[in-house]
Amino acid sequence: MGHSLQDCISQLPDEILGIVLSGLDIKEAVSTCILSRRWRNLWKLSPRFNFDASNTMRLMFCGHKNRETEAPKYRDWVNQVLNSHEGSSLEQLRIAFDLGKFYTNSIDKWVDFAIVKRVQKLELDLTPAGYCKWNNSVYIFPSWLLDIPLDLPSFDRLTSVCLKSVSITEEDLAYFLSTCLLLERLSIENAPFLQNLRVSGQSLKLKHLEIRYCEKCKNVEVSAANLLSFKYTGPRMKMGINMCFVDVPKLSSVSLESENCEEYIVNSPSTSYLSRLEKLELNLKYMNSGRHTDFPRIFPEFSNLKHLEFKFVVVDDETILFLTSITGASPRLQKLKLKYRINWAQNQIFAWAGVEKNKLLEVFEKEWEVEAGKYSHKCLKVIEFVGWVGIKPDVQLANYFLDSAISLEKIILDCRIPHCIQTSWGEEFDPNEEFDPNEGDREAALLSAVQLGGKLPPKAKLIIL
């Protein structure tokens, strides 16, 4: 049977086998050349090249390998593979390694190769391996390669561009948007000198736009009739960046990761798109006492919102009922997900007026209990707590929704990594980062989850992970 199967595979055209091999790791695909003469050059027809070196990058981050040795190896590896390619076109080219301006000549050649092969998906991920790269050492995207005569190969088939730790100008981005008429996805991360981003054009097919850690970017203007999703990660939105959305009738999913992103939503000059959103993700970062007490109590109505996700860090046993001001503004909300961490910072004192923290917070908590009581959640069916600890913040909010979500079908309590940690006051955390759980914390989280199950409405199911 194995012999028959081998014969069937051998009868496939070279182009089909090349596509099959493209699903393998590059090194695995190259190793098939030893199977037979027929297979010796098949990998050279692969339409996709993903030069992933994540294992090496992890070892560099831990100090077990160094960049000075590994970067030349990576460069030579990419050069060897690309120089051997015999296909007429390329679907995907992904470069992912800690490379900077010193490797400009090589990276320029790779970009030129992508142009000649009329690549469809291009990713340059030059993110540093665990340390900050100085802005003047970042690779500069080759503008001269974009000025191509009409009779030569170009980026005319490009559908996706992802640039990380690449310096690119506003003019270069305008080129991609104006001449790459098939472009549907644009992702820019850590473009150190980008100050303004204008996304507009009547023929624009762009569906997905992502901006991450572009620290100097002050203005983002989006007018894209086909845009479906927008993601932003960066500095304080209240003072650090201005965003304007015009003519985005299909925009249905927005993700914001920034301090004070809730204030941006309330004070944004263009909020008409909010009523059309179906999914909203908010990473509120560190919700210290002074911030959550000032959390907006009135939001624009999210009249079509069905999926809402929060990520945040909250201080010890403080209430998180303030989140209900957003859920209460979402009359059609069906699913709510919270991914959070609780930071123990006991016996902290407000610096101003010398007021004991707990006494003052009791006042704010009672106010939020009154505010939360005004909202109903008639359509809410699924609630998920990721990082369930089983103490006041999450238990209080869970009990609130058990009372107010009359259509609740399922509540998920993920206790696998109870995010209960102890740090100094004011230290920043990334809610996405995972920690090894303390066994005692996990047992306590499981116990409280079981206890909550006794309070469920008759038709609701409790799932404990």
Same domain, 221 and 159: yes
Helix (H, G, I), strand (E, B) or coil at 277: coil
Print the domain residue range for 31. Answer: 12-46
- Supply the pLDDT for residue 357: 58
Residue 300 forms part of a structural domain:
yes
Pairwise CA distance, residues 209 & 211, whole Å: 7
- Whether 5 is covered by a domain: the verdict is no
1: in domain:
no
**Residue 393: inside a domain, yes or no?**
yes
Q: Are 38 and 52 contained in the same domain? A: no
Q: Which of 197, 218, 251 is the C-terminal boundary of a domain?
A: 251
Nearest to 411 by CA among 452, 461, 356, 368: 461
Residue 237 sits in the same domain as residue 308: no
pLDDT tens digits for range 139-175 = 999 888 777 665 556 788 999 999 999 999 999 898 8
Which residue among 229, 251, 273 closes a domain? Answer: 251
* pLDDT tens by residue, 347-383: 444 444 445 556 666 777 777 777 777 788 899 999 9
The answer to whether residue 6 is domain-embedded is no
Q: Are residues 83 and 65 in the same domain?
A: yes
Are residues 342 and 208 located together in one domain of the fold?
no
Which of 235, 251, 267 is the endpoint of a domain?
Answer: 251
Same structural domain, 138 and 208: yes
Residues 429-454 pLDDT 10s: 444 455 555 666 778 888 888 888 88
Same domain, yes or no: 59 and 92: yes
Q: Are residues 329 and 187 in the same domain?
A: no
397-441, pLDDT tens digit by residue?
A: 999 999 899 899 999 999 887 554 433 333 344 444 555 556 667
- 60, 41: one domain: no
Q: Kindly state whether residues 274 and 419 are assigned to the same domain.
A: yes
Q: Please say if the pLDDT value at position 5 is more than 60.
A: no
The DSSP output letter for 64 is: S
Q: Residue 361: which of 430, 292, 265 has the closest Cα? A: 292
226 plus 291 within the same structural domain: no
Q: For the whole model, what pTM was predicted? A: 0.84
Confidence of residue 12 (pLDDT cuts 50, 70, 90): low
Q: 271: Cβ–Cβ under 8 A, 6 or more apart, which residues?
A: 265, 300
Residue 226 belongs to some domain of the structure = yes
148 and 198 in a common domain:
yes
- Give me the number of domains the chain comprises: 3
Residue 7 lies in a domain: no
Q: Which helix (H) or strand (E) holds 450?
A: helix 439-453
Question: Is there a domain that residue 455 lies in?
Answer: yes
